[in-house]
Structure formats: structure tokens, C-alpha cells
Amino acid sequence: MNPTEPTVATAQSYFLAEGPTWDPVRERVLWVDIMAGTVQSGVLGPDGTIAVEEVIQFPDTAGAVAVSAGGELIVAGRHRLYVRDAAGSITAGPALVEGEGRRFNDGKVDPAGRFLAGTIDKSGPSVVEKLLRIEEDGSATVIDDDLTLSNGLAWSSDGRRLFSVDTGSSRIFVRDYDAATGDTGPRRVFATLQDGFPDGITTDAEDHVWVAVWGGACVLRFSPTGDQVDRVEVPAPHVSSVAFAGPALDTLVITTATEELSEEDAARHPLSGRLFTLRPGVAGLPSHLWRGVAS
């Protein structure tokens, strides 16, 4: 792999690939194709390619996926969460999101194993999207209720800071986070993008934040103080998310989408919708494993 130029990782192109995550127990990459309602499971090769081994269909949309130590998957569906056990059986949870045009969007597991997920409504302008923390009993606690489009989530290496994206306002927020309780401190702006919109994010071992830029054809890296320090060009306009993968967590997996591309844009960027990989010279932080369903 070229350390500065992304490698095309998948032969498949996806409409809205999102939410990559590394499963350290089974050593696989998981990601979703949101509108298709599928979760892909793939093997990361030494050359940076990802070979898809399984495609799992869920009942509606699949906004995000996380995995437990035992192999259970939790998936953010349109209005509810789905759990797929290790044997392949899928169970639907109660409706947690309301509104015909509204659905769950990006989600991620916190340092204590809780699942957090936000909402999106593409039926019209909205400033009432939410970021929710899912409790052990399946209920939802509201963290934010004034977002335009809740998106990427990430934590600092010590778990004491939560980064979250509000895509429509082009802002990345940061706040104190208590992993023991899930409580959060006051929200403040960490960074504001001037070109393109922030989407999925991840953090590395140096506590820098990597941001996929929708409409910007790039991934940006920000220092712990919010200064942009690096930029990776991606041959696809709509870069949707990023995650570190591999046994050494030294490979950055980048998802992209064909959604919202005109025929002309798609023709100019034929690699849109593929996954890409890059070895940026810094390792990521281990993915937090979902703590599973309460017994």
C-alpha cells in the first residue's frame, strides 16, 4: 500500500457504504450499506484489499453496526435496533425513532460497551435530530436533541472525551464523557469544516481525529486541539466514514458512496462507492465491543 494514496479495497461498489468497524475477535472488517439494509463482513488482506465473505440482510435500513465479544451484532435499523445472535437469528427491538422520513444513522459503542446512535431526516430541513444512548434495558437516553444530522462518533484514548458530528452545520463537537455512567459534560465546538461536510470519524493512538468529508473527496486529520494537520485525497466525492483495522490497527479503512452523485459526477469518479485502505503511519485505537443484551 502507498502510505499517501489510498488503495482500492473492494471490487464491489456500494450506494451508501458506512460505519466500518474492526472485529478484533474474529479479525474481520464489518460495514453497512445503509439503504440496502445489509452488513458486509470482509477479510483484510496484506495488500490492503478486503474480500467480502458474508452479506447479512436486515429487515429495513442498516445505519450502523457493532459487534460483541461473542459475535452478536447490533444494527441501527430505520426506527429500531436489531440484534443478530451468533447463530444468525435476528430480533427486533422496540421503536425508538419517530417520523416517516426519520431513521437511525451512524452509531458506535462507548468505552463501557453501550451503543450510541443518532438520527437523520432527509424529507426536509430539520434541526431536531437526536443523539441517543441506548441503555441496558433497551430504552434510549437523549444526549442531543438539536442536531441537523447526527453522524460520526469517537472517543479519546482515555475514554474521557466524546467527539460527535453534526453534518448539516459542518461542526464536530467534543464534550467530557464519564464511561462509568454515560454522563456527558457541556458540548463545545472542536472543529468546523469550510469545504464539504463532516461524516464518519475515528481517533488514533495519538488522540488525533480522522474525519471523512462528504462532498470533499478527502479524509482530514485534526490534532487534539482541533487544528487540521493532514489531508488524504480520495478518488470519490462522497467519503462517508473511516476506521482503523487489522491486527495492528495500522490500516485506515475508508468508505464512500454513490448516493447524491449525478450521472456526470459518477462517470467522472468511477471508483465512487468502493472501500479504500491506507497505512497512514499511525495506529488506531481498539474498537469498543458491544456488551450485548442484558440477560
Active-site positions read 199
Can you tell me the distance from the alpha carbon of 199 to that of 210, in angstroms, rounded to the nearest whole number?
10
CA neighbor of 101 nearest in space, from 76, 119, 117: 119
**Burial class of residue 54, CB neighbours in 10 A (0-12, 13-18, 19+):** exposed
C-alpha cell at 211: 474525519
Grid cell listed for 12: 464491489
Q: Taking the alpha carbons of 287, 22, 70, 40 in that order, is the dihedral positive or negative? A: positive
DSSP H/E element including 239? strand 238-245
Residue with cell 434510549: 140
β-strand partners of 53: none
Q: Of 210, 219, 204, 202, whose CA–CA distance to 256 is shortest?
A: 219
Residue located via cell numbers 493532514: 230
The number of beta carbons lying within 10 Å of the beta carbon of residue 267 is 10
CB atoms within 10 A of CB 139: 11
Q: Is 265 helix (H, G, I), strand (E, B) or coil?
A: helix
Per-residue CA distances from 106 to 43, 77, 264, 270, 289 (Å): 22, 10, 28, 25, 16
Beta bridge pairs of residue 233: 218
